[in-house]
A and B are shown apart, each in its own frame.
Chain A
Amino acid sequence: MARLFEFQSKKLLKQGGIPVPAGDVAATPEEARRIAERIGKPVVIKIQVWVTGRAGIGGIQFAATPAEAEAKARQLLGMKVKNFAVDRVLVEEKLAIKAEYFVGLVIDDAAKKPLLIFSPAGGTGVEEIARLHPEKVARQTIDVLKGFPEYEARNMLLRVGIEGAILPKLADLLTKLYKVARTNDARSAEINPLVLTADDSVYAADCHFVVDDYAVYRHPDFGIEIAREFDRPPTELEKIAYRVEEKDYRGTFYFFQMVEQTAGSEKYIGFNGAGGGGSMMSMDAVLNRGFKLANYCDTSGNPPASKVYRAAKIILSQPGIMGYFASGSGVASQEQYHSARGLVKAFHEEGLDIPAVIRLGGNFEEKAIEILKTYLKDIPGVVEGYGRDDSPEFCASRLEELVAKSGGKRYQIRPLVEAWIPDRAYVFDTVTGRLSFDHSKCPGCKTKGCVPACGPKILKLEDGKPVLAVSVEDAKKGKCTECLACEIFCKFHERDAIVVHLPIPGLKEYRERIRTAKP
């Protein structure tokens, strides 16, 4: 779930007509000073990071003058909180607080409706109050077809004793919060505290807004780099992986790093799961054998071979791993030979020299295992393929044995070499890459096997050379499924004339940096 920073959330509230304290975000002490000058009153300065309890770690400071604001901002900027370096602070007017309320909107999975919660006692103790005095917390599910009328908000507030002049103000605010949440695809939206000031105005003093990952594409202005829940900023490699997924809607590719450094004596492996449940079960199996995961990765939902290839290339950009473990539920509905071909291409290019155990149980597993066996027997590392009747525990024990046999050899990442496209090659584009056929090699080819090998059957022979049987536009739009069958056939059975070029933007530079950064 993609979180917004406080200052971003407040911008949304303001757009929705909910009052927020005067202020702005600053990246330098000087900016903080100028904002404080503009406000012309005492200010509060708050670090912009995704942690709760900022006050307790000194992340919230008060300043009476612009000069003091500058000094305090200097202290706060550059502070380290968990893995976050504070690079922005919010400078805001200090409020004269008379009362603090809580209001939050979440999605109720049982009711399948948004649920609004209001508590007249806000602040950090709100969960405790809700537990001890549930009657003091008002809850209201919202009918998304009807919307959230003002009277429902008013009745909700009356139930917890809100009355007088503040009642209509709060009711109005609640209806606006619902609208802001819905317009911006909030997974949750929370104002805590919602402050009543000495002059009887209400302000959102702090706000947490979490955007639905699946709707982030509707809000490019939020600047969310990776639409997923992270409790730290994404790593360089995760960003590279996310760009792959973003550009390819076919199947899922989810990647995150458990550690950035695989140093020490731990037995790290690269992990390539498939499907949430199957991945969890498979992770348990390798963890029980004393392995540690360098990363978590999920390639499922029937991804094309090209996506699994890119996933493997990214996993194999982690130095120090001792093995590669791929395993899903074991009874996958997706055609497993796509994954097998993706791995074959990646492992060959990398000259994989650590052991790999690949559990590809499911649809066409026999063909998938056969592909692994046939085409990976000559690489330096041992690759074993397994199916649905081989348990994750058994496969994990195989990996343990192979790692022991390899003497605990650690993987060293290689420079990324992009294949060259010969002059006058026959070339066409695909959804995420490009195919090149070196027709000068075709005359020596006996089988012309690339044409029957082609999964979607889009190749034909012209003067004994393979060319597209569909238009280049159709190939690019997805008629070429990037199944890699033609390349693999030609490479291993014929003249090695076909290359499927599948760029991974940023990976070459990343590997270079990692390699040269080594002591």
Chain B
Amino acid sequence: MAILVNEESRVIIQGITGREGMVRAQLMKDYGTKVVAGVTPGRAGQEVYGIPVYDSVLQAWEKQGPVDVSVIFVPAALVKNAALEAIDADVKLLVIVPDRVPIHDVLEIAARAAEKGARFVGPNTLGLVSPGKAVLGMIGGRAERAREWFKPGPIGVSSRSGGMTSAISYYLTKAGLGLSTIVHVGGDVVIGLSHPEVMTLFQEDPETRMAVMFGEIGTTQEERVADLVESGRFTKPLVAYIGGKAAKSGTRFSHAGAIVEGSRGSYETKVKRLREVGVHVVDAISDIPLKAKQVLG
């Protein structure tokens, strides 16, 4: 099963002729992701690694048939336009890889996606992998690496750090445990699918027996996951690690921010809140595989 993507998902790549787009097109295709087309305005007729390129998402759809997912690799300043193009063309899942997308652009993408019933991962994401099925984005870097590092199994991983998504998943694989889907939700404050939304998907996925979450200080994502657990909307075992313990707590620059977040967002409150509702919070990354083994029994 896995979540969000599998071997049947029909994928396009916006920005396929760029530096990253080209390299990661190869990663995705080699891994087995069904990449049906690429899009770069003005480059229709070209091919990248055997993938046909079109001038627009709509054109790609007309020529190649329905598109389930678009992976976006365009410069940050052009992301809003590319994402709205895909959403308006009726693509229901976007993976927005670029870093440094203006926050008001993300808000607009989020609003439009909500209106059209679309979802997105990122921005500022390495992407996601359903091991043995498909990879979206650049996670793993090369197909042979992604196959070696991430093996199929019952654990879902959701992480706010790209590197740690790979690291945790690799250490789980190395410990003989497998993965259903691993998701780098993205490092920014406003992201499409955040931890609680990913946990909800893991809850619905019969293949996922437990989840691992890499959280960080800032935002309310981890607290909202605790809310899900508390209200019985996430019932599977969850192992969590919160990064940023050593980071000096940020100076509050805004009263409004403090009013909204209250005491949420800090390392201590996140850990306390998660432990309160029975989440297994570990103190070191290296404890994750051990804890996961225990939990799975």
Contact = CB atoms under 8 A, between A and B. Distances in A.
Nearest to A333: B141
Interface string B130-174: 000000001111100100010000000001111110110110001
B232 interface: no
A105 interface: yes
Contacts of A434: none
Given A109-B221, A334-B141, A391 B286 contact: yes
A144 interface: yes
A279 B4 CA distance: 29
Contact of B220 (A110, A143, A391): A110
Interface in A11-57: 50
Given A144-B107, A144-B111, A280-B246, A106 B257 contact: yes
A502 to B, nearest CB: 18
Interface string B174-190: 10000000000001011
Interface in A245-272: 249-250, 252
Contacts of A362: 141, 163, 166
B104 A329 contact: no
A14 to B, nearest CB: 21
Given A106-B254, A137-B259, A145-B115, A363 B102 contact: no
Nearest to A113: B107
B253 A208 contact: yes
A185 B214 contact: no
Interface in B238-297: 243-247, 250-251, 253-260, 262, 285-286
Contacts of B286: 391
Contact of A276 (B19, B110, B149, B187): B187
Contacts of A229: 250, 253
A281 interface: yes
B107 A114 contact: yes
Nearest to B145: A363
A475 interface: no
Nearest to B126: A333
A207 to B, nearest CB: 12
Interface in B104-119: 104-108, 110-112, 114-115
Contacts of B161: 275-278, 329
A301 B108 contact: no
A331 interface: yes
A379 B25 CA distance: 39
B284 to A, nearest CB: 9
B75 interface: yes
A116 B118 CA distance: 26
A300 B256 contact: no
A156 B251 CA distance: 29
B102 to A, nearest CB: 4
A274 B163 CA distance: 8
A518 interface: no
Nearest to A481: B19
Contact of A104 (B99, B245, B256): B256
A188 B253 contact: yes
B262 A131 contact: yes
B246 A284 contact: yes
A117 interface: yes
A112 interface: yes
A278 B107 contact: no
Residue with the highest number of chain A CB atoms closer than 10 Å, among B104, B112, B260, B262 = B104
Contact of B107 (A102, A107, A280): A107
Contact of B253 (A115, A210, A213, A276): A210
A287 B214 contact: no
A102 B255 CA distance: 9
B201 interface: no
B140 A3 contact: no
B103 interface: yes
A105 B256 contact: yes
Nearest to B113: A112
B99 A252 contact: yes
B205 interface: no
Contact of A117 (B77, B162, B164, B259): B259
A275 B162 contact: yes
Residue with the highest number of chain A CB atoms closer than 10 Å, among B162, B187, B189, B247 = B162
Contacts of A346: none
A112 B254 contact: no
Interface string B22-60: 000000000000000000000000000000000000000
A127 interface: yes
A252 B161 CA distance: 14
Given A126-B255, A280-B247, A214 B260 contact: no
Interface string A71-104: 0000000000000000000000000000000101
Nearest to A216: B102
B219 interface: yes
B228 to A, nearest CB: 12
Given A112-B110, A280-B244, A188 B259 contact: no
Given A284-B245, A331-B149, A388-B170, A182 B255 contact: no
Residue with the highest number of chain B CB atoms closer than 10 Å, among A107, A108, A109 = A109
Given A212-B102, A277-B162, A300-B163, 18 more contacts: A102-B255, A106-B254, A108-B260, A110-B220, A113-B111, A127-B255, A131-B262, A143-B111, A182-B104, A214-B100, A218-B102, A280-B216, A281-B164, A329-B163, A332-B141, A332-B166, A362-B141, A363-B141
Interface of B: 19-20, 75-77, 99-108, 110-112, 114-115, 126, 138-142, 145, 149, 159-164, 166-167, 169-170, 174, 187, 189-190, 194, 214, 216, 219-221, 224, 243-247, 250-251, 253-260, 262, 285-286
25 contacts: A104-B256, A107-B107, A127-B255, A127-B259, A185-B103, A188-B254, A212-B102, A214-B103, A249-B75, A276-B216, A276-B243, A278-B161, A281-B285, A329-B162, A331-B163, A333-B126, A333-B138, A333-B139, A333-B140, A333-B145, A362-B141, A362-B166, A363-B140, A364-B142, A389-B174
Interface of A: 1, 3, 50, 102, 104-110, 112-115, 117, 126-127, 130-131, 137, 139, 143-145, 182, 185, 187-188, 190, 192, 208, 210, 212-215, 217-218, 229, 231, 249-250, 252, 274-278, 280-281, 283-284, 287, 300-302, 328-335, 362-364, 388-389, 391, 478, 481
Give the top 7 A-B pairs by smallest Cβ distance, nearest first: A277-B161, A329-B163, A104-B256, A275-B163, A363-B141, A277-B164, A215-B102
